[in-house]
Amino acid sequence: MQIALANPTHILEVLSFFNENLDSNNSAVYSEEFLCPLGIKASIRRKQMVVATVEGQVVGAFRFYRKKTQNKISLYQFAISEIYRGQGLLKKMLKTINDLPIISLCPTDSYLNDYYDKSGWYLQEQNEDFNVWILND
């Protein structure tokens, strides 16, 4: 398995990967931007997408951006292939950029809150719409 910043040669495969692993019925998809091909392409060009590949196939991907004013990294979007879920792949991938705390918004009614809770994220704050999770390791 290789984990690295995505590059323009990954664009079509990453678009296909997110299309297969995310849809608007997913309770964690709170913005149509998650499904927008232009946003995904732009994040790859800005070096804000990390991919995990096995034999050239994308099995995990996440989009992030550095919050300059807060000294944090925001995990904006991620997906892991079903066969690689539950193996700590996202955390391995995050280690490639983990020089600052990583924060992630999750809708309060999403099943993904269980993932954050069980995998070592800390619930930093909560409001009516979102839980704000933080990872410091």
Convert the pLDDT of each residue in 84-134 to its tens digit: 999 999 999 999 987 789 999 999 999 899 999 999 999 999 999 999 999
- Residue 107 domain boundaries: 2-135
Residue 83 in tokens: 């066969």
- Given the structure tokens 């391995």, which residue do they identify? 92
Dihedral (Cα; 27, 28, 29, 35), 10-degree rounding: -120
pLDDT tens digit string along 15-66?
999 988 876 666 566 666 666 789 899 999 999 999 999 998 999 999 999 8
Q: Indicate whether this model's pTM tops 0.75.
A: yes
For residues 99-108, one letter each, b for 16 or more C-beta atoms within 10 angstroms of the residue's C-beta and e for the rest, the string is eebbbbbbee
Half-sphere exposure of 55 (CA within 13 A, CB side): 0
Residue 108 CA, distance from chain mean position:
17
In the chain, the number of structural domains is: 1
For residue 72, the domain's CATH number is: 3.40.630.30
Q: Where are the alpha helices (DSSP H) in the chain?
A: 11-21, 37-45, 89-94, 112-118
